[in-house]
Amino acid sequence: MSETESPSAEKVASAMMAPLSESSVARISVRTAVILLVFTMAFTALMAGVYQLTQPILEKSALDAKRRTITEVLPPDTYDNDLLADAATLPPVKALGRDAPTTIYRARKDGKPVALVFEAAALDGYSGRIDLILAVSADGRMVAQRVTLHKETPGLGDYIDPKKDKNKQQPWIKQFDNLGFDTVLGGKWRVKKDGGIIDQRAGATISARAVTNASGRAVLWIHDHSARLFDLPNGSQWKETSP
C-alpha cells in the first residue's frame, strides 16, 4: 500500500495534537456545564425528597425524647392539657442561668394551673456548666428536677445525675422533691456545708452546691412570676415589667 493510501503514524499523531478550535472548546464547555447543572439539580431534588421523608420522623423522635425528659420531673397523670403545645418563650434570664431563649411549658388540669416545666443552668460546676430541667408547682414547690447535661468528674461529682448516682434507692437529686420556695427564703436551700439542709457527698461539694444554688434561684424566680407565666398567651414571649 502506498503512502498516498495510508497516512503515516507521524501525521496521525500530529493531527491529534493539533489545538482545538474556539468553537470546539465552547461546545465542550457548554456540554460540561450542562452535565454539572443536571447532576446538581438531580442531587438537590434527591436531598429534598429525603428531607421530606425523614423530617416528620426526626420531629416525632425529638418530641418523644422531650416528653420522656419531662415525664422524669412531672408525672403525666398530674395534668390533662397538651403540655408541649401550651408553651411560651423565655428570653435569657439571669436567675435561671440561661444565656439563650428557652421554652417554658404550662401544665394544667381541668383548666387550672398545675406546674411549670423549664430549663435552667448552674454555671459554676466543678467542670463548668450543668444544665437542668425543673418542674415547679403553681404554689412554688419543686416537683422534681433532673440534670440533663454536665461534665462533672465520673465517679465523684457525677452523682448529681441520677443515672450515674450509685445510690439507686435514694438518688441525691431527689432531696429537692417537694421543697418549697420558702426554703429558699429561709436560707435553708443550701448544702449542709453552707448551713442548709441539702446533703452533699464527701469530696464533691462543688457539684452539689452548684445544682443546689441554681435550682434555688430558679424556684424563687418562677414562684415570683408564676401567675404571669401561666397567663401568657400561648406561643408568646415573656417580657420583664418595669419595677
Indicate the burial class of 103 (C-beta count within 10 angstroms; 0-12, 13-18, 19 or more).
middle
Task: Could you list the beta-strand ranges (E) of 22-168.
Answer: 87-90, 102-109, 112-125, 128-137, 142-149
Collapsed DSSP state (helix, strand, coil) of residue 9: helix
Concatenated DSSP letters of 20-58: PPHHHHHHHHHHHHHHHHHHHHHHHHHHHHHHHHHHHHH
Residue spans per domain, the chain: 1-72, 74-231
Collapsed DSSP state (helix, strand, coil) of residue 6: coil
pTM over 0.95: no
Q: What pLDDT is recorded for position 3?
A: 46
CB burial readout 66-99, b (16+ within 10 A) else e? beeebeebbeeeebeeebeebbbebeebeebbbe
User: Under 8 Å CB-to-CB from 223, ≥6 apart: which residues?
Assistant: 136, 140, 181
Distances (CA, A) of 34 to 23, 45, 104: 16, 16, 51
Q: What pLDDT is recorded for position 2?
A: 47
> How far apart, in whole angstroms, are the C-alpha atoms of residue 144 and residue 225?
19
pLDDT per residue of the chain (243 residues) written in tens, 0 to 9:
444 445 565 554 555 555 656 667 677 777 887 888 887 887 887 777 766 766 666 555 656 777 888 999 999 999 999 999 999 999 999 999 999 999 999 999 999 999 999 999 999 999 999 999 999 999 999 999 999 999 999 999 999 999 999 999 999 999 999 999 999 999 999 999 999 999 999 889 999 999 999 999 999 999 999 999 999 999 999 987 755
C-alpha cell read off for 106: 404550662
Collapsed DSSP state (helix, strand, coil) of residue 202: coil
| Nearest CA among 99, 223, 104, 204 for reference residue 159 | 204
Q: Which helix (H) or strand (E) holds 185?
A: helix 181-185
